Chain A
Amino acid sequence: MRLFLHQLRCEQLIFWRSREAAFFIFGFPLLLFVLLGSVYSGRIDGYKASSVLLVGMIGYGAANTGFAGTAISLVNRREYGILKRIRSTPLPAGVYLGCVVVSSLVVFVLEAVAIVAVGRIFFGAQVPTHIPSLVLAVLLGTTVFASIGLAAAAMIRSAEGSSAVVNFILLPMAFLSGSFGPTRKYPHVLRAIGDVLPLKYFIEVVKAVYLGGHEVWAKPGALGILAVWTAIGFAVAGARFGWEPRER
């Protein structure tokens, strides 16, 4: 526990000290929310447009912190030899990876609070009512995307390419899953792709909790698909994750 807290503190220090990464991970979704919120107005699917966008941004934030943040930082650390170095210290591997995930959860929780605040202040969006269920949903989202982030880190070979590969996956996924606005009018093909992506189902769950006032288990189908993605992520990570640089 002492080790866990020590490492978590260090992870947070490293995250916030690196301004560019902190802006990209923490600030970018807020910026997008402000931009999109200024464009959309009226009602979407019977809800206030800004509230729907807010939910979409929470989804994007989960994918950005959990998936992109985890994948990019782990690939960089691996290629710089930091992971290898940590392997020779008494810090257990599980504590280390656990801290990376929990640290991204901390960032995402702050992110979600900031998104809700921005939505409320600028666009008069809804505030959440079912807080415990929303907290569960946030935990769930971090787990799903961290598992995929670990898998992506295991697959990506070089530090130079990591940011490009991750954004190549992240941005289309967010677009196809409805983070940036409703997908109802998208062509069939695009909607079909969105239908297999985890972010769509995470947004569905958050939407049910945040806008619909349901509990988190109101969407068992979506939860099932997210569980499958999590299992795939951890399986790939377990099989392929390495601590040593792939390229020198």
Chain B
Amino acid sequence: MNAIAVRDLRKSYGDYEALRGISFEIAEGEVFGLLGPNGAGKTTTVEILEGYRRRDAGTVDVLGFDPERSPRAFREQIGVVLQSSELWSTLTVRETHQLFAGYYERPRDVDEVVALVGLEEKRDARVKTLSGGQKRRLDLGVALVGDPTLVFLDEPTTGFDPAARRTAWEMIRSLRALGKTVLLTTHYLDEAQQLADRVAVLREGRIVSIGTPTELTGGSLETEIRYRRDGEVVVLRTAEPTKLLHELTAEAVAEGRELEGLEVRRPTLEEVYLSLVQEEHEEAPA
């Protein structure tokens, strides 16, 4: 059963084509990552699925609804964390959760949600006294208080320090444990790699690659072999690493030489991603 099904989705702002026909499906309970540089169309996609924007063409099904109509039953079932938003600075963490809980027919227990996002100690603190990371957790708590089946996270860790990102990642993983479907946008590759079951890479309004993080790093690029010879770094790329490595080591053993600093590595998602999003620029005439 799919939580989200998108077919040939298109959207333009004036002459600018933000989305040029994208299609993907997200299964129930899946954590799906939309990855891409700024301006690739991530936020446009998410905002169409959330019901904020109208599409120009294509079909969109989110939990059996057309988000463009955004009926109340649809909004009962989604939780949204926007890229940037503030909440009332003078209310406490608990009051903020209560305020939003009141909008839903079957909200979760407020204290439970506060605990889930790790803000028990700040329960009665005013929002203005929270750190940036804590405010982001409040955002997530508010998105979860209605007990949604589908959660949208638009760049949930942008601007976080490494420790805060780890904490946020733990929380997003706990969403999976709760059985939520999650659509996450990010321009951090390690984030997609860490959290997403599947990733779609967007570039200039098109999906250039889609699959599990392993699939993305698996097929497309060659394995890299590095070593030093007479102090110089030698880098070889090959689609047949076993054969090449065998030849290299056989040669070195025969000559009684050590392959200094030998490294064999698969490309990281980052390298795949960069090769995907840069292709166009390299092809384009300067």
CB-CB under 8 A for A84 and B82, given A89-B103, A90-B104, A91-B103: yes
Indicate whether B242 reaches chain A with its CB closer than 8 angstroms: no
- Report the Cα distance A82→B82, complex, angstroms: 10
Q: What's the tally of chain B residues with a CB closer than 8 Å to chain A? A: 25
Binds A, one of B3-11, B17-25, B54-62, B71-79: B71-79
Residues of B within 8 A of A14 (CB): 88, 90-91
Indicate whether A246 reaches chain B with its CB closer than 8 angstroms: no
Residues of A within 8 A of B194 (CB): none
Residues of B within 8 A of A6 (CB): 102-103
Residues of B within 8 A of A248 (CB): 84
- Report the Cα distance A248→B83, complex, angstroms: 11
Minimum distance in angstroms from A175 CB to a CB of chain B: 32
- Report the Cα distance A85→B95, complex, angstroms: 16
Minimum distance in angstroms from B91 CB to a CB of chain A: 7
- How does the 8 Å CB contact mask read for A57-82 relative to B, with 1 for contact and 0 for none? 00000000000000000000000111
Indicate whether A132 reaches chain B with its CB closer than 8 angstroms: no
Residues of A within 8 A of B84 (CB): 81, 248
Minimum distance in angstroms from B185 CB to a CB of chain A: 15
Asked whether B103 lies within 8 Å of A82 as measured between CB atoms, the reply is no
Q: With CB as the reference atom, state the residue of chain B lying closest to A81.
A: B85
- Report the Cα distance A82→B88, complex, angstroms: 8
Query: Within B83-106, which residues are at the interface with A (CB < 8 Å)?
Result: 84-88, 90-91, 95, 99-100, 102-105
Residues of B within 8 A of A13 (CB): 91, 95
- Report the Cα distance A18→B52, complex, angstroms: 30
Residues of A within 8 A of B90 (CB): 14, 17-18
- How does the 8 Å CB contact mask read for A9-27 relative to B, with 1 for contact and 0 for none? 0100110011000000000
Asked whether A87 lies within 8 Å of B102 as measured between CB atoms, the reply is no
Q: With CB as the reference atom, state the residue of chain B lying closest to A21.
A: B90
Asked whether A81 lies within 8 Å of B86 as measured between CB atoms, the reply is yes
Indicate whether B218 reaches chain A with its CB closer than 8 angstroms: no
Indicate whether B277 reaches chain A with its CB closer than 8 angstroms: no
- Report the Cα distance A2→B75, complex, angstroms: 18
Residues of B within 8 A of A244 (CB): 52
- Report the Cα distance A11→B103, complex, angstroms: 13
Indicate whether A7 reaches chain B with its CB closer than 8 angstroms: yes
Q: With CB as the reference atom, state the residue of chain A lying closest to B76.
A: A90
Q: Sort chain A's interface into a size bin.
A: 20 to 34
Residues of A within 8 A of B76 (CB): 90
CB-CB under 8 A for A84 and B91, given A89-B100, A89-B104, A90-B103: no
Minimum distance in angstroms from B130 CB to a CB of chain A: 15
Asked whether B86 lies within 8 Å of A88 as measured between CB atoms, the reply is no
Minimum distance in angstroms from A228 CB to a CB of chain B: 34
Indicate whether A110 reaches chain B with its CB closer than 8 angstroms: no
- Report the Cα distance A14→B80, complex, angstroms: 22
Asked whether A84 lies within 8 Å of B100 as measured between CB atoms, the reply is no
Which secondary structure dominates chain B's binding surface? loop
Residues of A within 8 A of B191 (CB): none
CB-CB under 8 A for A82 and B85, given A90-B72, A92-B72: yes
Asked whether B146 lies within 8 Å of A89 as measured between CB atoms, the reply is yes
Residues of A within 8 A of B72 (CB): 90, 92
Indicate whether B51 reaches chain A with its CB closer than 8 angstroms: yes
- Report the Cα distance A146→B75, complex, angstroms: 28
- Report the Cα distance A87→B99, complex, angstroms: 14
Q: With CB as the reference atom, state the residue of chain A lying closest to B90.
A: A17
Minimum distance in angstroms from A11 CB to a CB of chain B: 10
Indicate whether B155 reaches chain A with its CB closer than 8 angstroms: no
Indicate whether A3 reaches chain B with its CB closer than 8 angstroms: yes
- How does the 8 Å CB contact mask read for A225-248 relative to B, with 1 for contact and 0 for none? 000000000000000000010001
Residues of A within 8 A of B99 (CB): 10
Greatest chain A CB density within 10 A among B80, B84, B87, B88 is at B88
Minimum distance in angstroms from B180 CB to a CB of chain A: 16
Minimum distance in angstroms from B147 CB to a CB of chain A: 12
Greatest chain A CB density within 10 A among B50, B99, B102, B103 is at B103
Asked whether A88 lies within 8 Å of B80 as measured between CB atoms, the reply is yes
- Report the Cα distance A18→B78, complex, angstroms: 30
CB-CB under 8 A for A7 and B52, given A18-B90, A81-B85, A82-B85: no
Residues of A within 8 A of B75 (CB): 88-90
CB-CB under 8 A for A84 and B52, given A89-B146, A90-B76, A248-B84: yes
Q: With CB as the reference atom, state the residue of chain B lying closest to A88.
A: B80
Minimum distance in angstroms from B183 CB to a CB of chain A: 13
- Report the Cα distance A6→B99, complex, angstroms: 8
Known: A3-B102, A85-B82. 9 other contacts (CB 8 A): A6-B102, A81-B86, A85-B87, A85-B142, A88-B51, A88-B78, A90-B76, A90-B105, A90-B146
Q: Enumerate 8 A-B pairs (CB-CB under 8 Å) in ascending A order.
A: A6-B103, A10-B102, A14-B88, A81-B84, A86-B103, A88-B75, A90-B104, A90-B105
Q: Which 3 A-B pairs have the closest CB atoms?
A: A81-B85, A6-B102, A80-B86
